[in-house]
Amino acid sequence: MGKIAFIFPGQGSQQVGMGQEFVENNEQSAAVFKQADQRLGYSLSSIIAEGPEEALTRTENTQPALLTTSIAILKALEQYDIRPGFTAGHSLGEYTALVASKALTFEDAVYAVRRRGMFMEEAVPAGKGAMAAVLGMDAEQLESITNRITAEGDSVQLANLNCPGQIVISGSKEGVEKASEAAKEEGAKRIIPLQVSGPFHSELMKPAAEKMADVLDELTITDAEIPVVANVTAEPVIGADEIRSKLIEQIYSPVRWEETVRYLLDEGVDIFIEIGPGKVLSGLVKKVNRRATTVAISDPESLEAAVKKLKEV
């Protein structure tokens, strides 16, 4: 078997009912959902199981819901003794990766991301921020556009460098609109405005980062047992202090996902196991290198198929 990385999705992959087959069929997975409810003091598990969708898509619920579901799936996978050489997660998914790497306990992480979601919601009044995906433009060209528009007084930054030709920009509503127009004029193939509740991974999130620093100070972060490739640098972090500082920066810095995948490939990773609902990250990995093996595990059926596939490689 080749070198494995466990990768964990972020906001946008959630769906009502996710992880439920594991809850019904696996005691350890069910225990994760119970732990989340106990730590948060409300029934997150029933929002995940039954919705309504608008409750699940509220950032302060989405973030702990995705973390909980991914860790519940991880518990089922761990029974097969499959061990990664690295972990990584997209934005919120980085917290899941830190739990998988034993740098954070699940209970602390679920509490932290609930707070993170609340702070991100509060940082910018509704309707004042925006995000958009820019397709078919390279990062340097797009960054010169966003820098220019920010300098002119409308804040906008690169937020997610996902894969070749797919970059998300984030900032004030006006900044994102102006950068989108300029990108179109300078040759971007398509601009897709995103349905999000705030300008995540932009400078406008700095107030949320300051509040998050206080929360992270309350929690015990230990050195990671498995290196976690950080969003902010696309390089591995192990030390507790560095993990803490990178989680604070991560809130207002771009997610360097394409570079993360390239780093893992350079380190000899040839199997990427996406743990959580959906297949978004598997798709992005393939866009970086279509020869990479990707396995997405979201239900018992895909878990069985994954275990079978891993025995063959």
Where do we find the tokens 């570079």? Answer: 259
Active site residue 90: no
Residue 132's beta-bridge partner residues?
A: 169, 193
Q: Which of 13, 29, 91, 253 is catalytic?
A: 91
Active site residue 91: yes
Q: Which of 13, 201, 282, 298 is catalytic?
A: 201
The 3-state secondary structure of 168-194, one letter per residue: EEEEEHHHHHHHHHHHHHCCCCEEEEC
Buried b (16+ CB within 10 A) or exposed e, 230-244: bbbbbebbeeeebbb
CB 142, CB 169: distance < 8 Å:
yes
Q: Please give the Cα distance from 294 to 13 (Å, whole number).
A: 17
Helix, strand or coil, per DSSP, at residue 293: strand
* Phi, psi values for residue 135, rounded to 5°: -105, 140
Establish whether the linkage from the previous residue to 9 is cis, with ω within 30° of 0: no
**Which residues are known catalytic residues?**
91, 201
